[in-house]
Chain A
Amino acid sequence: MLAFLIQRVLQAIFVMFVVALISFSLFHYVGDPVMNMLGQEATEADRAALRAQLGLDQPVVVQFWHFIVNAAQFEFGISYRSARPVTDLILERLPATLELAIVSAIFAVVMGIGLGIYTALRRRSWLANFIMTASLIGVSLPTFLIGVLLIYIFAVELGVLPAFGRGETVRIGNWWSTGLLTASGLRSLILPAITLGLFQLTLIMRLVRAEMLEVLSTDYIKFARARGLSKRVVNLRHALKNTMIPVITIIGLQLGTIIAFAIITETVFQWPGVGALFITAVRFVDVPVMAAYLMMIALVFVVINLVVDLLYYAVDPRLRAQGGGK
């Protein structure tokens, strides 16, 4: 168990190191920040001063070392554009993105698993067939189109839900602002959350259905029936647990992509999250913000992966017996 954990953590650190290298190289390959910040008119002295202030005058290896040390402390320097600490900018935007991502994830996972089970158990019913067909649309439509369609139907035509923004927010503690406690905040969350979660929902549903159908045809399910266990116990205790083993991995990866995909949804709904911040940063070649964003997404993926591995381990006794590794 411990060996398994250590091995996974080392892998995670390695992945983070590679991403750090990529983020760091942005500084050198995407424009000259000093030029960008000061413009053509600045004097050579001004430039040198700024260069020194940003640490750009030191050898590359030293710069990279500083970058990593700072990143490990969630320090990403000063935004080229707003001249404020990048960490502050991200922390300000993070609650909006996390709330959106978590609500979408819950929506996608709960509905995806529920519909997956339903369509597997009732695979001959017309409703199950209808859901399967509809899910094809969910998989094939691009996210921004779904967002625009939802806005058109529910905000423009029906006028029942807001088309953009986060609604009213309430501060909790020093830096968390939540939209979950106000009516307008909750209503603003509905369309973006559906838009962001729909793709994962259909993916999870189809996966759960396929896995469940496979599990339902196994000998141990047949034997569970032959032992006289009720339909409920066979389907929801035995079949579901076995179905979830491969599904857990995919769901974990999908949660990572939800945060990454939030960029598009945030842009469509003018949602004030880190995704929108990243888009702005790209437009203004604000490299520190871009680098910090990349590192953040990578961290999310790595942490989720780690959790998934541990979950796997908790669910499957065969892995536990082997003392790790899959």
Chain B
Amino acid sequence: MSSTPSSDNQRLDQRSAAPVAGHEPGTAGQEPVLSVRRLRVEFPTRHGTLVALDDVSFDIAPGEVLGVVGESGAGKSMTGNAVIRLLEPPGRIAEGEIHLSGKRIDNLPEDEFVPLRGRHIGMIFQDPLTSLNPLFSIGDQLVETIRAHLPMNEREAREEALKLLCEVGIPAPESRLDSYPHQFSGGMRQRVVIALALAARPEFIIADEPTTALDVSVQAQILALLKRLCADHGTAVMLVTHDMGVIAETADRVAVMYAGRLIEIGPVDEVVRNPQHPYTKGLMASIPGITKKLERLYQIEGSMPRLAAIPSGCAFNPRCPHAQKRCRDERPDLMPAEGSRAACWLHDPVDPLPPRQDVEGREVSHVR
């Protein structure tokens, strides 16, 4: 459609005061590009309200890659969807704040929020096969995206589209501009999707399992591409993935989610090599190849609770070997724990819960 020169630019530049006092460690010194505070997402249903995200807070610094991990259903996609305001109805943000470059965005009216998408917050979805409209050529889809954000005419936008396709490594882009999505392989389509998401040079993108649906052989290429482009443009990334290998290789920090809550967050090295939350310990231990010294694979007993049946106190307490009365009564907030921060009473700075030990005096873990 017609170009809408982004007036939101100015708005975002008149930065209001820092959203909330005290950035989290790891983004110190810089104003975060994204700051999520006490975010709560609810789904009102006939049988009561489901709480899909509960009290989630985190920051992402400019240019930083934050990896987000957790079992399927932990709320990773929900977090991204809430930030870019694409929650499926009746899901809604019930509490909390979202700030983009210092400007609060969760309470903007819809027509002021729409131009932020693509221009300031980009998004890449899991499945490149279904992310592109099959009835429009990729040139059309690129041009319309570019022109939605930048003051360009059709010809200039096509030039720009060619540049973008070059940048994401599509061979002979002039000849591919008028091709339709079905004429591309999965990997190539995901490259086009990346070009679309980055077309207006957003300062922050959400990549929700961007390689999960791809052939293993192209996953690494696509990730390398994403990493390189974001590094080149200084784009911050929220990278949702199942793959701890990808996190270890790509992310600066990692956030671990469980049952709609953020339970541990910290620098990748710390969280991967020295996890602090009992759940993260189990998660890392269950992944082969991350901690080599393991002689056997651990598995956490039980499974993550459904939204309708999240236990009181610490959501992990039914599966935690250290769980005690306090864990069932009081919900722990994120607390400093060695190099990261974990939501676990074992790390209460005032009155830490004593970890349970086995007969030989070693800390108990989730051996089955």
Which residues of A are in contact with B by a Cβ distance under 8 Å? Answer: 218-233, 237-238, 241-242, 245, 315-318, 321
Is there an interface contact between B131 and A223, defined as CB atoms closer than 8 Å? yes
Q: Compute how far the CA of A238 lies from the CA of B117 in the bound complex, rounded to whole angstroms.
A: 17
Q: Are B145 and A228 in contact (CB under 8 A)?
A: yes
User: Judging by beta carbons under 8 Å apart, are A228 and B135 in contact?
Assistant: no
Total interface residues on B, using CB and 8 Å?
Answer: 34
**Given pairs A227-B199, A317-B182, 10 additional interface contacts (CB within 8 A):** A223-B125, A224-B133, A225-B117, A226-B84, A227-B117, A227-B145, A228-B200, A229-B148, A232-B1, A242-B133
CA distance A231 to B148 in the complex (A): 12
B86–A219 contact, CB under 8 A? no
B134 & A227 in contact (Cβ 8 Å cutoff): no
Residues of A within 8 A of B282 (CB): none
Q: Give the CA-CA distance A318 to B117 in the complex, in Å.
A: 29
B130 near A: Cβ within 8 Å?
yes
A interface footprint on B185-206 (CB within 8 Å = 1, 0 otherwise): 0000000010011011000000
CB pair A226–B86 under 8 Å, yes or no, is yes
Q: Please, which residues of chain A bring their CB within 8 A of the CB of B197?
A: 226-227
- Known A242-B135, A318-B134; judge A229-B145 contact (CB<8 A): yes
| B134-152 near A? 1/0 per residue, CB < 8 Å | 1111000000110011000
Pick 29 A–B contacts, CB within 8 A, sort by A.
A218-B130, A219-B125, A219-B130, A219-B131, A220-B131, A220-B134, A222-B125, A223-B123, A223-B125, A223-B132, A226-B125, A227-B118, A227-B145, A227-B148, A227-B197, A227-B199, A228-B115, A229-B144, A233-B144, A241-B136, A242-B133, A245-B135, A316-B134, A317-B134, A317-B180, A317-B182, A318-B134, A318-B182, A321-B180
- With a CB–CB cut-off of 8 A, which chain B residues contact A223? 123, 125, 131-132, 193, 196
B122 CB within 8 Å of chain A = yes
Which residue among B114, B115, B133, B136 has the maximum number of chain A CB atoms within 10 Å of its CB? Answer: B133
Q: How far is the CA of A230 from the CA of B135 in the complex (A)?
A: 18
- A226 near B135 with CB under 8 A, answer no
**Contact string, B233-274, partner A, CB cutoff 8 A, digits 1/0?**
000000000000000000000000000000000000000000
Among A220, A221, A222, residue most surrounded by chain B Cβ atoms (within 10 Å): A220
Give the complex CA separation of A97 and B241 in angstroms.
63
| Distance of A300 Cα from B276 Cα, bound (Å) | 74
- Min Cβ gap A129→B in Å is 16
Which residues from chain B sit less than 8 Å from chain A, CB to CB?
1, 4, 84, 86, 114-119, 122-123, 125, 127, 130-137, 144-145, 148-149, 180, 182-183, 193, 196-197, 199-200
How far is A238 from B228 in the complex, measured between Cα atoms in Å?
Answer: 31
**For residue B115, which residues in chain A have a CB less than 8 angstroms away from its CB?**
228
Contacts of B132 in A (CB 8 A): 220, 223
A227 to B149, CA, bound (A): 9
Chain B nearest CB: distance from A248 CB in Å?
12
- What is the bound-complex CA distance between A226 and B118, given in angstroms? 6
Residues from chain B with a CB closer than 8 A to the CB of A237 are: 1, 144
What's the dominant secondary structure at chain A's contact region? helix
Q: Please report the C-alpha to C-alpha distance between residue A230 and residue B1 in the assembled complex, in whole angstroms.
A: 8
Contacting A220 at CB < 8 Å: which of B119, B130, B144? B130
Complex formed: what's the CA distance from A241 to B144 in Å? 15
Task: Compute how far the CA of A154 lies from the CA of B131 in the bound complex, rounded to whole angstroms.
Answer: 51
A231: chain B residues within 8 A (beta carbon): 114
Chain A minimum-CB-distance residue to B131: A223
A229 to B4, CA, bound (A): 10
Task: List A contacts of B131 (CB < 8 A).
Answer: 219-220, 223
* Chain A residues near B127 (CB-CB < 8 A): 219
A228 contacts B149, C-beta separation under 8 Å: yes
List, in ascending order, chain A residues with CB within 8 A of B149's CB.
228
Q: How far is the CA of A224 from the CA of B140 in the complex (A)?
A: 12
A157 to chain B, nearest CB (A): 44
Q: Decide: B86 and A225 in contact? CB cutoff 8 A.
A: yes
Q: Closest chain B residue to A322 by CB distance?
A: B182
A contact residues around B196 at 8 Å (CB): 223, 227
A213 to B170, CA, bound (A): 33
A237 to B145, CA, bound (A): 13
Measured CA separation A317–B127 after assembly (Å): 20
Given A242-B133, A242-B135, A228:B1 Cβ within 8 A = no
Complex CA gap A237/B2 in Å reads 13
Considering the complex, give the chain B residue whose CB is closest to the CB of A241: B135
Residues of A close to B135: CB separation below 8 A: 241-242, 245, 315-317
Task: Name the CB-closest residue of A to B123.
Answer: A226
- Interface pair B122/A226, CB less than 8 Å apart: yes
Which residues from chain B contact A317 at a C-beta distance below 8 Å?
A: 134-135, 137, 180, 182
In the complex, the chain B residue whose C-beta lies closest to that of A217 is: B88
Contact partners of A241 in chain B: CB under 8 A: 133, 135-136
Contacts of A226 in B (CB 8 A): 84, 86, 117-118, 122-123, 125, 197
